[in-house]
Structure 1
Amino acid sequence: MIYKNKIRTVWMLGLVFLAISCDSYLDVNENPNNPEDAPISGLMINSTYESANNVYRVGDITSNYVQYLASPNPGSSSDTMEPVSNSNTWFNLYNVMTDLSVLIDKAEEEGAGHYQGAAQVLMALNLGTGVDIFGDIPFSESFNFETVTPKYDPDVELYGNVMTLLNEGIANLQGETTAELGDDDFIYGGDIDKWIAFANMLKARYMIHLKDVQGYSAAEVLTAVENGFQSNDNNAKVNFFEQSVNPWFNVARDNADLLLGGWISEQLIQALDGTSYDAVDPRLKLMVGTTDDGEFVGTENGAGRGNAPEQGARSTLIEDQYYTSQTAPILIATYSEQKFIEAEAAFAVDKARSYQAYLDGITAHMNMLEVPQDEIDAYLANPQVGMGEAAFTIDAIFKEKWIALFLHPEAWNDARRYDYQYKDMTLPANLNSGLNGEYIRRLPYPDSETSRNGQNVPSVTLLDRIFWDAE
């Protein structure tokens, strides 16, 4: 009860700072995030909470692209990979990065090294997220309130910024501080060791993206992994409570109230129900709901409900499962994801380590979902899953990581690096004709940018690749 009261207190304080939060780099005539008005504690509340929400916001866009979700309506733009203006997502990424910029500066001025370090880690997370979905974006001129038309920095250079922020963040978290993080940290509650592990896990995540880029080092990825998460207890997440519910819970609840959303792609169902693989995955029943007849039936991406128009004839997200309970966490980074990063990085240099990390990644995700041990053992014993080191392939890593990243935007980064080669994954029906029969590779720049900063917005198509997405 004491903990809940503390959470309520900091939540209400956070609402105050949400009200004064700077809109974005575009507001240059007046800076409502005046450092005199925004103490570092309030900025940390908002930044940890909104960083988690940004993971949801991007995951809500990309979950159709990787065929976790499918629209119940035929030809829906979310399914068919049409160009959609994601102005709100852009706004929210820049909103929290603006607050983080102020927090980094204020914490440095006050000698609050732990606040500064945590803010640098969160800045790296939000910046990396923006680059991974949009490519070139404004950064170097975005937070000084001197221009309404900031230049776009190259995506490859921005990845350098991401790594610098993470390294500097680790150094500050390991150093001295005049103020300690506490309940104003919605991710770790002030646990500095976990923040350092989180920063190293993110280093591994962003470095594995560069596997096909000159200068990639598997050894550096594995070093970051070794300094990263040690168990599910290290998972970076924000839990929800009475005043604010998990947004995926809202999707499930709205669907139950006939505001349709959260319908499950047949690709996901068939990957887990024994259709695409000779292994029935015990996680399926813990991740999505059944039809009214108690069966798992997915929706074809792009085709909609087809001959089953009634609600209840297709599987959807339902309330009160791990991802969709009212107080379920938004997962920012997990031990299971890190294990699959380790498996991929080690595959070419230490296959035995790679195979063990792959098995550990499956186990970690199943433990997180509270799969019974006998079901875990049976799944790992299936030769389609526990195939042994000699028969082990990179495809197995990507398949199991795709399952473990359910609803997370990192899955789209993997899908593009893997060229969408998941078994039985096919292009959606009614695909955007502008894609010429290919999968989407990036988001278009939002209308708000093309109207206000059009002279700097790069000219790109949905098929132009982010620098790490090698052909």
Structure 2
Amino acid sequence: MKRYLIALVCFIAVWSSCSKIVDNINTDPNNPTDADANSMLTSIMVGNMNIQEGDLARFAGMWTGYFRGYTQQYQSYHQYTVITRNFDAAWQRVYSGVYKNIKILKGKATAVNNRRMLGVAQVIEANLLGTATALWGDIPYSEAANDNFANPKFDAQADVYARLQVLLDSAIVNLGSTAFVDFAAQDIHFAGNMTRWIQTANTLKARYFMHVRDYPRALAAAQNGISAQANNFMAPHFATSRGAFNLYFQFLSLDRPNWIDATGMYGVSLVNPAGTRYRGNTKTNERARWNYFYNSATNLNFTVNGFFGQNTFFPLATFGENLLILAEADTRVNGFAAGLTRLNTYRAYMNTGAYITTTYLTTGNWRYDPYVAADFAAGGMENGGTSPIAQDRALLREIIEERYVNFIGQIEGYNDMRRLFKETDVRVPVPLNFGTQFPQRFLYPQFEIDINTSTPNPIPSLFDPTPVNR
């Protein structure tokens, strides 16, 4: 267990000062052997943030049209030239750095009947492994992080999603328990607010039902999901020290300047009022959102108040995502009228300024008026051209495009690309960066291939769809 706690300490170092890391752990701060549950909770949260916001998000963003790998190895990554070694570090962070410690934390919380902390750990576990199975497909889960299994089996992707739903159901029960030991000071997401944790659990349930195209249950879960922007599940960042900075800012501005830009990318052109694919119309003005994400047609906005800025909190699951799950799922389940109402609810939220920093909300810079049915009829503003599609499909296309923009910089945009890959009439038509095939998964890391005899054989290629997307 000692080696995992060392990894845990390394994670917490990116978020807080070194002196605080070792307080009350043991008398040798360079050789920690154990940590109390509250201290572990913060480090696990930081570890999960690193997975959701770090290099995996950058790979996903390059392949989804949000930004371009411009120089050094990122130019090759942009063109889908990756090898198994490129995913070693992230895979080890998922399993040795975070999941192993989640299991230890759950044991500690259970031992003292701290059911609320157990519930929080379960939500983080679901977020962590839900992302992992979405990106890699079949992954170790039931036997993972268990010393009894030297070669943990790879569980089928569908089974992992099913287990995560059970896990989140258990988390919701635990989060509503009155049995707990206070950990508000260590909860960097919600400071012990169980209502917000329960809503986050339901939004994650809805997200994972979307991943497997179970739209009725996605709709049901989202109705209990994140209900306001104030309840967003966010990764906190501050300008107090380098370790607390937004991870995109660290990469774009400090560690690897100019390795990534936005030149020629599809996402830029959709929200750029001067772009060739600008999605604005008489009811929609995207200038404020364009300025928030991109400070020009070629650069991502990592200034202080931009989405990729130094102290900008990073979205892990949000009110906006939940509204758009409701919109897509309700359209698919209950038809056009239900979906249009849901989309207009989202547009009303955007019309308040939503998540866009007030710096960019100047007069005339944003507008999201409600749509009407005629806008999606053949010849309407959202269904024009020489080949109009069915009205309900035109609405679905607009909702999916809105999801695409909403997820700029996030892994979920890449998950949507693959989920909707075969729905050519409604998916976002992001052009390929290179060649004739779109990357359908992340590669299993060489580290796992070398040491785990249970790794799937033959090993899937970059262009093999994950099981739920076949």
TM-score bracket for the superposition, by shorter chain length: 0.7 to 0.9
Q: Secondary structure at the match of 1:367?
A: coil
Contact conserved, 1:114 with 1:181, CA < 8 A, in 2? no
Task: Indicate the residue corresponding to 1:300 in structure 2.
Answer: none
The separation in 2 between residues aligned to 1:98 and 1:170, in whole angstroms, is: 22
Using the TM superposition, give the Cα deviation of residue 245 of structure 1 relative to its aligned residue in structure 2, in angstroms.
Answer: 0.7
Task: Indicate the residue corresponding to 1:329 in structure 2.
Answer: 313
Q: TM-score, normalised by structure 1?
A: 0.80
Contact conserved, 2:143 with 2:152, CA < 8 A, in 1? yes
Percent of aligned pairs with the same amino acid? 20
- Counting only pairs closer than 5 Å after superposition, residues 304-453 of structure 1 correspond to structure 2 as 314-348=298-332, 349-364=334-349, 366-369=353-356, 370=358, 371-372=361-362, 375-377=365-367, 387=382, 392-419=394-421, 422=427, 425-429=430-434, 431=435, 437-453=436-452
Task: Indicate the residue corresponding to 2:197 in structure 1.
Answer: 195
User: Compared with structure 1, are the counterparts of its residues 151 and 258 closer, same or farther at alpha carbon in structure 2 (3 Å cutoff)?
Assistant: closer
- Counting only pairs closer than 5 Å after superposition, residues 152-167 of structure 1 correspond to structure 2 as 152-167=154-169
Task: Indicate the residue corresponding to 1:271 in structure 2.
Answer: 270
The separation in 2 between residues aligned to 1:135 and 1:227, in whole angstroms, is: 27
The separation in 2 between residues aligned to 1:362 and 1:260, in whole angstroms, is: 34
Query: Structure 1 counterpart of 2:431, which letter?
Result: T
Query: Structure 2 counterpart of 1:83, which letter?
Result: V
Query: Structure 1 counterpart of 2:40, which letter?
Result: L
Contact conserved, 1:335 with 1:364, CA < 8 A, in 2? no
The separation in 1 between residues aligned to 2:142 and 2:15, in whole angstroms, is: 35
Using the TM superposition, give the Cα deviation of residue 99 of structure 1 relative to its aligned residue in structure 2, in angstroms.
Answer: 0.9
The separation in 2 between residues aligned to 1:378 and 1:227, in whole angstroms, is: 25
Contact conserved, 1:232 with 1:364, CA < 8 A, in 2? no
The separation in 1 between residues aligned to 2:279 and 2:138, in whole angstroms, is: 42
The separation in 2 between residues aligned to 1:461 and 1:121, in whole angstroms, is: 30
Contact conserved, 2:347 with 2:369, CA < 8 A, in 1? no
**How many residue pairs are counted as aligned between the two chains?**
416
Task: Indicate the residue corresponding to 2:466 in structure 1.
Answer: 466
Q: Secondary structure at the match of 1:183?
A: helix
2:48 equivalent to 1:51 = yes
- Which stretches in structure 2 are left out of the alignment for 5+ residues? 1-12, 384-389
The separation in 1 between residues aligned to 2:117 and 2:263, in whole angstroms, is: 40
The separation in 1 between residues aligned to 2:362 and 2:342, in whole angstroms, is: 20
Using the TM superposition, give the Cα deviation of residue 448 of structure 1 relative to its aligned residue in structure 2, in angstroms.
Answer: 0.7
Q: TM-score, normalised by structure 2?
A: 0.80
The separation in 1 between residues aligned to 2:66 and 2:132, in whole angstroms, is: 21
2:224 equivalent to 1:227 = yes
User: Compared with structure 1, are the counterparts of its residues 264 and 33 closer, same or farther at alpha carbon in structure 2 (3 Å cutoff)?
Assistant: farther
Task: Indicate the residue corresponding to 1:310 in structure 2.
Answer: none
Task: Indicate the residue corresponding to 2:87 in structure 1.
Answer: 86
Using the TM superposition, give the Cα deviation of residue 10 of structure 1 relative to its aligned residue in structure 2, in angstroms.
Answer: 6.8
User: Compared with structure 1, are the counterparts of its residues 265 and 408 closer, same or farther at alpha carbon in structure 2 (3 Å cutoff)?
Assistant: farther
- Which stretches in structure 1 are left out of the alignment for 5+ residues? 1-6, 21-31, 291-295, 297-313, 432-436
Using the TM superposition, give the Cα deviation of residue 66 of structure 1 relative to its aligned residue in structure 2, in angstroms.
Answer: 0.3
Using the TM superposition, give the Cα deviation of residue 469 of structure 1 relative to its aligned residue in structure 2, in angstroms.
Answer: 1.1
The separation in 2 between residues aligned to 1:452 and 1:469, in whole angstroms, is: 28
Q: Secondary structure at the match of 2:91?
A: helix
The separation in 1 between residues aligned to 2:88 and 2:259, in whole angstroms, is: 22
Using the TM superposition, give the Cα deviation of residue 343 of structure 1 relative to its aligned residue in structure 2, in angstroms.
Answer: 0.8
2:59 equivalent to 1:61 = yes
Using the TM superposition, give the Cα deviation of residue 414 of structure 1 relative to its aligned residue in structure 2, in angstroms.
Answer: 0.3
Query: Structure 2 counterpart of 1:443, which letter?
Result: F
Q: Which has the higher contact order (CA 8 A, sep 6+)?
A: 1
